[in-house]
Amino acid sequence: MNLVIVESPGKIKKIREILGQGWDVQASVGHVRDLPEREMGVEAPDFKPKYVPTERGKDVLARLRKAVDRANAVYLATDLDREGEAIAWHLKQALRLENPQRIRFAEITPKAIKAAIATPSGIDVKKVAAQEGRRVLDRLVGYMVSPKLGDMAGRRGLSAGRVQSPAVRIVLERERAIQAFKPTNHFGAQLGFGSWTADWETGPFLPEGQKYLLDSSLATRVAAVRQLHVLECEEKTESKAPPAPFITSTLQQAASNKLRMKPKATMEAAQKLYEQGHITYMRTDNPNLSDDALIEIYQVCQAKGLPMVEQPRTWKAKGDAQEAHEAIRPTHFEIEEAGETPEQKALYKLIWQRALGCQLAAARYAVRTVRLRAVDTLDGKPVDFTGKGRALVYEGWRALYDDDTESDDDKQKDKDDANNPVPHLEAGQSLDAETGKVLSKKTRAPSRFTEAELIKELERLGIGRPSTYAAIMENIMSRGYVENDKAGKYLVPTETGALVIDALVNSRFSFIEYAFTRDMEARLDLVAEGRSSYREVVSVVHESLEQELGHMKVDAAPQHPCPDCGKAMFRRKGSKGFFWGCSGHPDCSTTLPDAGGKPGKHQPREVAETPCPKCGKELIRRKKAAVGKKKGYDFWGCSGFPSCDAKFDSVGGKPKL
C-alpha cells in the first residue's frame, strides 16, 4: 500500500478515484505544527523556531502515523506554494519519515497526478526557509510590538502586524486625503452639431502653472462660438487585446467587481473548484498558460467558431513574481459550467472566459477625431475644439465576454465616444454649430478603496504575496481596524485603526513603512531562491524592532479622554449603532453617544448617597425619557455591572433599597 498525504480533505475522494487500488490518500488538514500560542517561540541569536503540534494537528498526526505504519512508500502531495512546501517538511519531521517522496501537481487530473508520481523529488528546503522567515517575522512584530501598543495608544488589546498594519495605513491615508480634499470648480465649453459634439481645448487659455480654467465668463464667450472650419479629420483603427488569464490577485479583483465576492469567499470557492478537479491551482502570480492549455483552447475555439489570434499571446509577469506554475485556468476547457454552489459556478465562468478569451483576436474600433477652429479669435488666441467618435467594428474576444478590467471612468469615456457619431469631414470645410453650452465641472476627491482596489494597491506596492491577500483583508476587518461604509462597498478606517497606525508612525517603526515591507518581501523571495538566508533576514528585523522599541513614544494625552477617568475613549459599534466607550472598561463603564464620528455630550452621572448593598460599589441612576412608542426607563443600577447585577427602582429620584 502506498500513501499519499495532501493538505485538504476535499481532494481525497477525487485522487483516490484516479489512483485506484493499492493507494491510500489522507489529509493533513493544513498545518500540523506551528509556533506556540503563549510564547514567542523564537529567540536571538540563532532564531531557531520552537514548533509544537497544533490542537487539531495532534489528532491528525496520530491518524497519519497509523497510515504511515501501513505504507510501503509515502508521497507528500501538499500544495505548490511555500506554505505547501513547509507543510510537507513539517510532516516529514513530525512523522519521522526517512525518505518521503515529494510530488507536485497543479491540477487534479489523471494525467497530472500520474506524471507527478512518476517524477518525485525532495522537499525544497529553500522554500521552507522562506515560509519560516515569513512566519517568524510576523511573530516578532506581533509579540514584540503589540504589547506596547496599549502604552502608546492608551488601550489594551491592540495588535500590530508586519503586513496588516501597512494595509490599514493605506486605507487611513486615503481617508485623510479625502477629508483634506478641497474641490476646485472649473469650466469648459461644448458645441453641438446635431447628433455629435466637440469640446473646447482649454490649454492655450490657462495661466502658467494652472491645470483648470476658473473663468466662467470666458467659457460663456467660447460657448457662443458658431462659425468654425475644419483643421483636420483623422480616421484610424484601434485594437484592444484581451486581458491575461487570472493570477491570484486579479481573480480576487474581478470576483469583487463583477460578483461582489469578498477575497476570502473567492479563495474558498476557488479551493473547492480545484479540489473538484475543475481548475488549476489558484495561488499563482504567473499570467501565462502551458502549451497543453493552449492546444485545448485552440480546439475549443475551432469547435465554437471563435476568432483566434494568429500567434499565442504571452504576458510578462511583474518583477517579483515567483511564477511557480501557470495561470489559473480550467483543467478541461470543453466544460463551460462547473461547481456545486452558485458562487463556485459564477467564479468558474469568470475563469473559463478569461482563460479562453486570452487567445482570441483583438477587438477593433473605428475612431474618428476631428479638430475644429473658430473663425474668430478670442483675446487674440485661436479657439480650437475636438470631437471624437468610436465604434466597435470587430468584436474579437468581446464576442465571448465583456471587459472586467475597465474602471468606471474608462467605461463612461468609451460610452461617451460611442454615442458621439462624428461624421467624415474635409480639412478646410466650414460648418456652423447649432448649440453651445458651458460645462461646469468640479475636481473629485480620490475615491475610497474597495477590497479589490486595496488588493491591487498592495500588489503595486509589493506588500504581501498571492497567498496572503485574502488573509490580510480578513485580519484588518475582523480586528476592527477597517470596516465597510454604509453602502458596504468601500473600506473606511475605524477610530481604533487610526489610533494604531498613528502610534506606530509616531514611534517611527520601520515595518509600517511601505518600502521596508516591500524590501522584506523581496528578501524572502531571495531566501526561496537560495540567494539569502533565513537567519540573515530575520535578524535584520529583530535588531530594528529592538532599537525602535527603545525610543518609542508613549502618548499620555489621548485624543478623546474619558470625562470620568481620563483614559482614551474609542468608537464602537453596538446593536443600535455607534457609541463611544472607555478603554478602562470594566473598571470604568462610561459611554457617550456618537456625534458625527466624535464623542457626544457627556451627561454627568447621578450617584446615590448609599453604596450598592450587594457589593459596595456606587449606584448610578439610569434614566431615559419615552420617545413615541418606545418606553423610557428610570432605575438605579450598580456601577460594577456586569459583575454585579444589583438593580433598584427609582422613587422620588432615589433608589428604593
Alpha carbon of 10 to those of 30, 54, 561: distances in Å? 12, 20, 51
Q: Name the residue with higher pLDDT: 617 or 336.
A: 336
Per the CB < 8 A criterion, the answer to whether 503 and 153 are in contact is yes
Determine how many CB atoms are found less than 10 A away from the CB of residue 181. Answer: 12
Q: Which CATH architecture has domain 2-123?
A: 3-Layer(aba) Sandwich (3.40)
Q: Quick: pLDDT tens for 115-127.
A: 999 999 999 999 9
Q: Which CATH class is domain 132-179+448-550?
A: mainly alpha
Which class is domain 185-241+363-442? mainly beta
Work out the number of other CB atoms within 10 angstroms of the CB of residue 348: 23
pLDDT at 556: 45
Contacts by 433-436, CB closer than 8 A, 24 or more apart: 433/191, 433/192, 433/193, 433/225, 433/226, 433/227, 433/228, 434/192, 434/193, 434/194, 435/191, 435/192, 436/189, 436/190, 436/191, 436/192, 436/222, 436/223, 436/224, 436/225, 436/226
Cell numbers placing 225: 462660438
The SS3 of residue 499 is helix
Among 97-111, 405-419, 426-440, 511-525, where is mean pLDDT lowest?
405-419
Based on the residue annotation, tell me whether 281 is a catalytic residue of this protein: yes
- Give the contacts of 484 (CB within 8 A, at least 6 positions apart): 477, 490, 491, 492
Put the strands of the sheet holding 227-240 in their side by side order: 430-432, 227-240, 363-374, 384-394, 197-200, 185-192, 435-442
The lowest-confidence range among 280-284, 544-548, 583-587 is 583-587
pLDDT at 574 (0 to 100): 65
Domain with CATH 2.70.20.10 in the chain: 185-241+363-442
Q: Which residues belong to CATH 1.10.290.10 in the chain?
A: 248-357
Pick the catalytic residue: 75, 274, 281, 348? 281
User: Looking at residue 330, what is its pLDDT?
Assistant: 96
Report, as an integer, the average pLDDT of 509-527: 92
Angular region, 171: left φ>0, alpha ψ -120 to 50, beta rest: alpha
- The number of CA neighbours under 13 Å toward the Cβ of 505 is 15
Cut 0.85: pTM above it? no
Q: Which CATH architecture has domain 248-357?
A: Orthogonal Bundle (1.10)
Q: Which residues contact 624 (CB under 8 A, 6 or more apart)?
A: 632, 633, 634
> Which ranges in the chain are annotated with CATH 1.10.460.10?
132-179+448-550
DSSP label of 492:
E
| 469-487 per-residue burial string, b: 16 or more CB within 10 A, e: under 16 | bbebbebbbebbbbbeeee
416 has pLDDT over 80: no
| Domain boundaries for CATH 3.40.50.140 within the chain | 2-123
Report which of residues 556 and 158 the model is more confident about.
Answer: 158
Cα dihedral sign for 385, 391, 397, 400?
A: positive
Strand ranges in 490-535 using DSSP code E only, listed in sequence order: 491-493
